[in-house]
Amino acid sequence: MKLKTDRRTLIRWKIYIDRAKMYVGYIQFLMIAFVLLEAYKETTLGRLVFDNMLLSVPVIFLVFILLSLIIGRIDTLLGLREEELRNSSTSNPVMREILKHVTEIKRDLEEMKSNAVKLK
């Protein structure tokens, strides 16, 4: 019983880490934008951004949000995430077993319906 509890705890921790990883990714993306701007600090655009940080930071944040929404919308329209989840679930043994049972239930239900029709 102790091993099962420890396993569940580890799985729960992994889920927490995976969720946090998503938010850390947002922060990393913004940091990459600033590193890119730092590389161009001596250019006109770089000076404009770094000389007006109170204005440029919210603008960069809004551009990040808008680009994220556009990329997310494109991903939704193309169905990439759904396909990724479908592929992941077909390789998951638990999901395969669930699908097998659902298929069996559907087959049994069809048999029961056809038998009920024959009895009438």
Region 24-34 average pLDDT: 84
Region 80-89 average pLDDT: 79
- Classify residue 43 as left (phi > 0), alpha (psi -120 to 50) or beta: beta
Residue 93: per-residue pLDDT: 83
Residues near 95 by beta carbon (within 8 Å), at least 6 away in sequence: 89
Q: How far apart are CA 76 and CA 86, in angstroms?
A: 14
Residue 99: per-residue pLDDT: 84
Domain ranges in the chain are 2-78
Q: By percentage, how much of the chain surpasses pLDDT 90?
A: 12
Residue type, 70: I
For the chain, the average pLDDT equals 84
> Which two structure tokens, joined as six digits, stand for 51?
């000389």
Q: How far apart are CA 112 and CA 120, in angstroms?
A: 13
Q: Which of 40-44, 85-89, 103-107 has the lowest mean pLDDT?
A: 85-89
Digit-coded pLDDT (tens) for 38-77: 888 888 888 888 888 899 889 888 988 898 889 889 988 8
The pTM score is: 0.52
Residue 4 has pLDDT above 80, yes or no: no
| pLDDT confidence band for 5 (50 / 70 / 90) | low
